[in-house]
Amino acid sequence: MIKPKALTSLSIFFPCYNEVENVKTMIEQSVQIGNEYGIDYEVVVVDDGSSDQSAQIVQAEARKNPRIRLIQHPQNMGYGAALRTGLGNVKKDLVFLTDGDNQFRLYEMEKLFSKIDSCDVVVGYRIHRQDKVYRRINGILWTKLNKILFKLPVRDVDCAFKLFRRKALEGLELKSDHLLIHAEILARLKKKGCRIEEIGVTHYPRVAGQATATGVDRILKTFKELYRLYRQIK
């Protein structure tokens, strides 16, 4: 077990939108990690206006464990908005961010722990990404575009398996409501002078629920956000 010096306390955070078949498993994995490391931890779930029973499942788990915390959006506000809400409400010294779709195994958080003592942010990249071909191609092109625009030292900008020192997140004015959010986080951290490292993590197929963040309207909004971010960063 790798336990870095920086691991004094841990926030495990993930957004959730209609993940009724995944959210309990995600919470159970999170609690297991916190308990195994024997640290002060919290599990923060941001429900982004789910129309299923996702929020009720989180509430039931929170009644059993006070370390679990639910934050609800009254309506669906977008993936980026959910990440901004979560990152703005975590309280521990290290902040782990993932997605609520159960396409990662949280025990691989240890890989990120192995690097955090020497940097401010550890970014995972998906080994053999288990998504449809068009999503993999889009991901490669999107990462290349963001590397060109913002000189980001990562090979998988949107990989939702990231570990931050909370101090690095302080004062970060994030604005994206949509798919730009991961690139925005890294671009603003880089501009702030934060040290970014990366490591490969295993990616698994989605076995329940449905991806919802890739509609044409959201993609168009993301490119508008990208243009604004580029002007701000430059």
Q: Name the residue ranges covered by the structural domains of the chain.
A: 9-233
Residue ranges of the chain whose pLDDT lies below 50: none
Q: Are 225 and 175 in contact (CB under 8 A)?
A: yes
**9-233, what's its fold?**
Spore Coat Polysaccharide Biosynthesis Protein SpsA; Chain A (3.90.550)
pLDDT tens per residue across span 84-136: 999 999 999 999 999 999 999 999 999 999 999 999 999 999 998 888 898 88
Contact by Cβ (8 Å): 130, 204: yes
Torsions phi, psi for 47 (to 5 deg): -90, 115
How large is the angle between the packed helices 216-233 and 133-150, nearest 10 degrees? 20
pLDDT, position 47: 97
Give the per-residue pLDDT at 83.
97
Q: What is the pTM of this model?
A: 0.92
- Sequence-separated (6 or more) residues with CB below 8 Å from residue 2: 110, 113, 114
pLDDT at 230: 86
- Name the 3-class secondary structure at 9: strand
Strand intervals (E) in the chain: 9-16, 40-48, 68-73, 94-98, 121-127, 161-165, 196-202
How much is the pLDDT for 210?
Answer: 64
> What pLDDT is stored for residue 214 in this prediction?
58
